[in-house]
Amino acid sequence: MSRITTLDAFPVREPVSRRSYTILRLATDSGLTGYGECRAIAPADLEQARRLLSGKDPTAYEVIRRDIASIAALAGGVNMALLDLVGKQAKAPAYQVLGGPTRNKVRVLASVATDAHATAAREAGFRAVAVAVSANALRRLEALRKASPDLDFVLDAAGRLTPTDAAKLASAFERFHLLWLDEPCAVSGVSALRKLAEESVTPLGLGRSVRAAAEFQDLLREQVIDVLRPDIALHGISSIRRMAAIAETYYTAVAPYHTGGPVATAAALQLAASLPNFFIQQIPFPEAAEDRSMRAELTAEPVEAVKDGYAALPAGAGLGININQKALEKYQ
């Protein structure tokens, strides 16, 4: 039985977009190394996590999940790294450890900032894109649909609309048959969301700003969510699996939110393979080629390669990736 000996954190930043994330590395006394990913973390949180994890058996990842839940910044990334270790110990992909695959490829979605960015994403293999709400969003989607009739769309409101504006927007975009309207308004206004959900035929995606599993259940109970959007960097694999199991009883699909790096992408693909009610996985597709090159350089395997709208399941053990240590130092 192996035991955790060290936890290291490597903050990295993409050269053009300046998108930043932290890669976590867990090592055991058996020589195995597991990787996870989270956002920025405070030194005090890192030290506390080291104390909690030291000497623990990685296979007790559910017990550890509860123990480390109070360190919200690291909890999701640590969970990814633990399942990476468990898979490597078993010499199997993490989705096999979690019960076997429900699919052999994963449908993916790219967030795009400009029309040129959308075109580049389509050329890279994406067949679904998320477009931010803006004053010219209607014209943008009309132009994109005309140029690329095979693209599906998500409209991302990022929780910034009032319920009234969200209702008008949902109605205006009905003819586009959006995959969903993402975060139309703040989740705190449940009664307004319920009214929006009842009056609109456009599906609603919610949850990327929600921290507690109980809040997800409240929204599901109120029947205001069509697509559940938990944050992979925040919750990790295990917690989202628990949320997805609850969502399944409400016939709700799951499309995890992800704006981080390639380690979290690998974790998201493992998660997708294990969920019966999975819909589509968001994968960051940076507009700058330099940023895409960095992401590919960090992992030895092409984990973010997309073909005809789908990403392949990582074939290796654990998360299916190995980190390029030289690239980690280069971009740190």
d(CA 93, CA 321): 10
Instruction: Tell me the pairing of strands 4-13 and 20-28.
Output: antiparallel
State the pLDDT at residue 188. Answer: 72
3 state SS of 62: helix
d(CA 251, CA 201): 16
3 state SS of 50: helix
State the pLDDT at residue 332. Answer: 86
Q: How far is CA 206 from CA 18, 93, 212, 239, 263, in A?
A: 26, 29, 13, 16, 24
Q: Where in the chain is the domain with CATH 3.20.20.120?
A: 105-330
CATH entry 3.40.50.150 includes domain 4-93:
no
User: Digits of tens for pLDDT over the chain (332 positions)?
Assistant: 699 999 999 999 999 999 999 999 999 999 999 999 999 999 999 999 999 999 999 999 999 999 999 999 999 999 999 999 999 999 999 999 999 899 999 999 999 999 999 999 999 999 999 999 988 888 999 999 999 999 999 999 998 988 889 999 989 999 999 999 999 988 777 888 888 888 889 999 999 988 877 788 888 988 889 999 999 999 999 999 999 999 999 999 999 999 999 999 999 999 999 999 999 999 999 999 999 999 999 997 889 999 999 999 988 999 999 999 999 989 98
State the pLDDT at residue 215. Answer: 81
Q: How many Å separate Cα 323 from the centre of its chain?
A: 19
Q: Where in the chain is the domain with CATH 3.30.390.10?
A: 4-93
**Which fold would CATH assign to domain 105-330?**
TIM Barrel (3.20.20)
Global pTM reads 0.95
d(CA 182, CA 133): 10
d(CA 273, CA 254): 12
State the pLDDT at residue 218. Answer: 84
State the pLDDT at residue 197. Answer: 87
What percent of the chain clears pLDDT 70, i.e. is strictly above it? 99
State the pLDDT at residue 18. Answer: 95
